[in-house]
Structure 1
Amino acid sequence: MFKQSKVFAISMSIVLSMGLLAGCGNKEEAKTGNSTTTTPPAKTEEISGTVTASGSSALLPLVKQAATEFQDKHAKVTVNVTAGGSGTGLKNVADGTSNIGNSDVEAGDEYKDKGLVDHIVAIAPFALIVNKDVNIENLTKQQAADIFTGKITNWKEVGGADKKITLVHRPDSSGSRKLVKQVVLGSADFSKDGITQESSGAMKTAVAQTSGSIGYVDAPYIDAEVKALKFDGVAYAKETIKDGSYKLFGMEHMYTKGEATGAVKAFIDYILSPEFQSTRVEELKFLPATFLKK
């Protein structure tokens, strides 16, 4: 009888001990005074909403790629990207039509009081491109200026064949046009002769299909269908932009009206993230935003 009581007592002791251990649990606890409370795990708020971006067709390949990747990561976000030219993008973001205005150039004085915030997201190498039947490889800055202003109208005047030069322009709203004017023409104006194309892609196609033509695009649009010329004897490349010998490039801007918030901020942050800047940017033939700061 004594042995049975002893066994019973030991068994009860084990049960009580297990109960105490279960009461303690493995939950994270915070003690306040003499009481104990359980702290719930922090919740990560899921990004949602629609982001609209318009403007520069030069920057379009980069923004579209970023939009695709960002939406893959955030299923509740929709990113709508359109072109229309840098001027259109700046007007749209200033008016509130778009969340983001993409531009190849800085916003002009007319936007100084619109509360625009600039986000530089990449560097875009540009090049003068010609139809493949144009048998020259280089233009000096002065020669290029004389061609685009209409002073030179035949390729033989710059060492090429006896062939009429056909100018292919972008519209006045184009940031690419403004960039080429700044770097190549200075205070001079483009000739009104020639044809005008609404986007960088259309510009490339027109030059590829028009004998004796010349135009300008950024690197993502340059392919085997056209010839990219050297500028002042220097070909566009990462190294020549770094050492300052190649001058025809621009900073790519994404403007917001006020500081970006919510899904818009998250989208721009993704484009500026090491993940995107260190891989996709150069794959798309741009250079990272901080490239010239290194």
Structure 2
Amino acid sequence: MNAVGAMSLAVDFSGLGDINLETVIAAIALIGTVIVWLVDRYFLRRKRLVYRVQVDAPIGVFPSSHMVDVEVRYQGAVVPDPSIVLLRVDNAGGMDIEPHHMHEKVSFAFPDRKIVGLEVTEAKPEALGQMLQRQLDSENFIETSKLILPRTAINRGDSFKFLLVLSGRGDGVTHSGYLAGGSAGGGVYHEPRPRGPGRRTLMFGALSLLLVGALVALFVVDVLQPPDNCASGRLQIIGSTAVEPTMKELRSAYAAECTQADITIAANGSRSGTRALNETATRDPAAAGQLIAMSDGPAEDSPDLRGRSIAVVVFAVVLNRSTDVTALTVTQLRDIYAGRLTNWKQLGGRDLPIRMVSRVGPDSGSRRTFRDKVLAGDQELGISSDDCRTKDDPVAKHHRCEVGTTEELLSRLNDIEGAIGYAELGGSRKYPVVTVASIDGVVPDASKVADRSYRFWEVEHAYTYKAPGQDSLQEAFLDYLGSMQARPILARDGLVPCPELPSAFCG
């Protein structure tokens, strides 16, 4: 049996009462902190662009024969001393790579060989490969024996291959350039072969240690320190669709420990949610005590609504990758949404119509935030398309449609060439053919909210009808939203918990 083939674990908790529990918990916390730091430092928050040379071989006929005359031609010209290279590139890190992260040009060199032909193949997603191919075809990214990687967004898990035909008797591939920005920077790495058994053994051991530690921690927390914010009953979360995925995660995390809580999510738009809360209270105040309305920004004035600031939602302008555009200015965005710019080639992108996909208003909090923070109060143009793909109004010069939820908006952006829209940052990262645009040179990020260099954000409020009843599920879940336990979930989905920001942000 190999070193990792079996593991036996026996834990005797019979003498736990004789141990100083504070020491046990402190030790577990210390170990957990070290593990989290290591994972964060070396795996999760590093930007890693990994390349592997899958093929590097001369093209020829062996054994050679005077009876056979073989030549390789590319686009009609003979290629002397031909060879072929297949180069795979992966974003193997825990962070998306944005164009501005490539502070120094990332390039691959082929010493003593000249690049004759190049094709991007097997890209995931396909739109990334198509965009790279267009950039390589239209710009000067090839310098004799060097291939320069175009500055483009490469999301976590994205990959592609370069298939090159070269001329010359050299061999080998080298790289240069680096990645910067974000909280940890990153680099470009050569992975000559798949990870060996030694590394897998180390990873397995580390994972085993982490799982055992988590098991002990869960035992201590669950048995010795039961949660003190559990409540039973029914509760429905309505309102903002922008934070609907986050609320589902928070609901699941809370209900996993508080099993007597029945919490449902029925997102219907920020203003629709607060309006429904008011209307329910008029008919049945008791039923209103089982509702929480989430709102992107403050609700309309109502003397009976009570709001709590939960987190700052970072919004983003998002584009289908087919546009070949990754940066916009506020002026350009206003020109797009005023109908003055109608084709991406006017912004240096492809010859594609600009297809605006918007949220149905005025109940959408994200639409209201986009109008106030980006468009300076200007209203969006009228609808000219029902399906977001084809323009139904022959008179309109612009191309614009509306959809009911954030999820639907992102799905349309992911599927439709030339599409542009706005959504919360966390959800935008989950769609492979969608890229996040910088605004006036600033990429959406929590740190850019804190230093006020990024403007497209809003405070997420949780509203109730009057003050929640003491010991009610409504009160308990609101407390949970502001707790330390909820902060990692909020942060993972791109929200910034209010306690982590100066008081001026959340009020």
| Pairwise TM-score range, normalised by the shorter structure | 0.7 to 0.9
Pairwise mapping of residues 213-228 of structure 1 onto structure 2 (< 5 A)? Answer: 213-223=419-429, 224-228=432-436
Pairwise mapping of residues 224-235 of structure 1 onto structure 2 (< 5 A)? Answer: 224-235=432-443
2:249 is the alignment partner of 1:86: no
Partner of 2:495: 286
SS of equivalent to 1:75? coil
Partner of 1:65: 249
2:357 is the alignment partner of 1:175: no
- 8 Å CA contact 1:59–1:103 kept in 2: the answer is no
CA distance in 2, matches of 1:207, 1:180: 17
Partner of 2:168: none
2:323 is the alignment partner of 1:157: no
Q: Where is the helix percentage greater, Structure 1 or Structure 2?
A: 1
SS of equivalent to 2:336? helix
Q: Return the offset for 1:157.
A: 2.3
CA distance in 1, matches of 2:341, 2:353: 9
Partner of 1:270: 480
Partner of 1:244: 452
Q: Return the offset for 1:45.
A: 10
Cα 1:135–1:112, aligned 2, differ >3 Å: closer, same or farther?
same
Q: Which amino acid is 1:197 matched to?
A: V
CA distance in 1, matches of 2:370, 2:317: 9
CA distance in 2, matches of 1:272, 1:46: 14
Partner of 2:149: none
Among candidates 299, 303, 321, match of residue 107 of structure 1: 299
- 8 Å CA contact 2:229–2:479 kept in 1: the answer is no
- 8 Å CA contact 1:123–1:286 kept in 2: the answer is yes
Q: Return the offset for 1:46.
A: 6.8
Pairwise mapping of residues 199-214 of structure 1 onto structure 2 (< 5 A)? Answer: 199-214=405-420
CA distance in 1, matches of 2:320, 2:229: 52
CA distance in 2, matches of 1:142, 1:229: 14
Q: Number of residue pairs matched? A: 247
Q: Which ranges of structure 2 fall in alignment gaps of 5 or more residues?
A: 1-227, 281-287, 384-399
CA distance in 2, matches of 1:256, 1:65: 20
- 8 Å CA contact 2:230–2:476 kept in 1: the answer is no
- 8 Å CA contact 1:150–1:190 kept in 2: the answer is no
- 8 Å CA contact 2:295–2:461 kept in 1: the answer is yes
Higher-Rg member (1/2): 1
Partner of 2:45: none
CA distance in 2, matches of 1:246, 1:291: 17
- 8 Å CA contact 2:229–2:480 kept in 1: the answer is no
Q: Return the offset for 1:59.
A: 1.2
Q: Return the offset for 1:138.
A: 1.1
Pairwise mapping of residues 10-159 of structure 1 onto structure 2 (< 5 A)? Answer: 47-96=231-280, 99-108=291-300, 111-113=301-303, 115-159=304-348
CA distance in 2, matches of 1:90, 1:62: 19
- 8 Å CA contact 1:57–1:83 kept in 2: the answer is yes
Cα 1:179–1:45, aligned 2, differ >3 Å: closer, same or farther?
closer
Q: Superposition RMSD on alpha carbons, in Å? A: 1.8
- 8 Å CA contact 1:118–1:255 kept in 2: the answer is yes
TM-score if structure 1 supplies the norm length?
Answer: 0.80
Q: Which has the higher contact order (CA 8 A, sep 6+)?
A: 1
Cα 1:292–1:45, aligned 2, differ >3 Å: closer, same or farther?
closer
